[in-house]
Structure 1
Amino acid sequence: MVKLTLAQANTIIEAALAKSTASGFKPMGIAVLDESGNLKAFASEDGASMFRFDIARAKAWGAVGMGVSSRVLGERAKGNPNFFVSLAATAEGKFLPQTGAVVIKDATGNVIGAVGASGGTGDEDELICMAGVEAAGLTAG
């Protein structure tokens, strides 16, 4: 199986931050995780609040753990809130089903990681994550 490299993770972050800056978004925190939910790379822009890392990582952690974007998880949580509250508690706060993270897939469609962002709206966070993944030559899901 293809593994997410540090070079790819750094490319994702650099491209996501470039998209954020070009779009005039607030300072972002961006976390890239591997397929096991381990932190591969993180960046916090100057001026980003202290919560950005935890939120970005929790969005990405949920996405990679469940194999879908955090937007999908947020929609699923509406229909089954007790399960998602229990899941967040079981994950010791590392799981956040809110828009702003996408899974990273290789050329054959395997999930090899996830990227989450925090700083803007959920839509803004998701947009820059997708831009980062695409810049790395991978597929966002």
Structure 2
Amino acid sequence: MSDLTLDAASTIVTAALKAGRDLGLKPLAVVVLDARGALKAAGVEDGTSLKRAEIATGKANGALALGIGSRAIARRAEEQAYFVAAVTHVAGPAGLIPVPGGVLIKRDGKLVGAVGISGDTSDNDEKAALAGIEAAGLQAETGA
């Protein structure tokens, strides 16, 4: 099976939120997109600031749009700011957020989706994403 199941996406959301609590992070928004960029699952904790879900979606969408984790997009934004600015305009309504926290999800090396998390520092958002993906028995690609 190569598709991202609802069960796996829900596990990612639940485990990422739990990791956030265990790490003492600020309230998180977690969004899981399938490989075609469609929303598969989401969870937003009480107390998140305005637009966190949209930022999380932009992190995941950007990772899918460029085929690399958003940590790599952040590096690319520093090296090729005009390129990332241009891609942002064609990334669609979900956008592209060039900071860590958007992680590609793979099963046996095949892309099945992406998770985006926003709420704490970008590095901490990414830690929660990794915990969620691992809990679902899938592989993560951060762009490190």
Q: Which runs of 4+ in 1 moved over 6 A?
A: none
Partner of 1:60: 60
1:56 partner SS: helix
- What TM-score, normalized by structure 2, do the two folds share? 0.94
Q: CA RMSD in A?
A: 1.1
2:57 partner SS: helix
Identity in percent = 44
Residue 50 of structure 1 and its aligned partner are, at CA, apart by: 2.0
1:62–1:97 Cα contact (<8 Å) kept: yes
CA–CA distance in structure 2, aligned partners of residues 92 and 112 of structure 1: 20
Letter in 2 for 1:12: I
Structure 2: give runs of 5+ residues left out of the alignment.
none
Structure 1: give runs of 5+ residues left out of the alignment.
none
Partner of 2:27: 27
Q: What is the 5 A alignment of 1:69-80?
A: 69-80=69-80
2:28–2:119 Cα contact (<8 Å) kept: yes
- What TM-score, normalized by structure 1, do the two folds share? 0.95
Between 9-18 and 86-95, the greater mean CA deviation after superposition:
86-95
2:133–2:139 Cα contact (<8 Å) kept: yes
Letter in 1 for 2:122: G
Partner of 2:91: 91
Partner of 1:112: 112
Q: Are 2:134 and 1:134 equivalent residues in the alignment?
A: yes
1:64–1:111 Cα contact (<8 Å) kept: no
Q: How many residues align?
A: 140
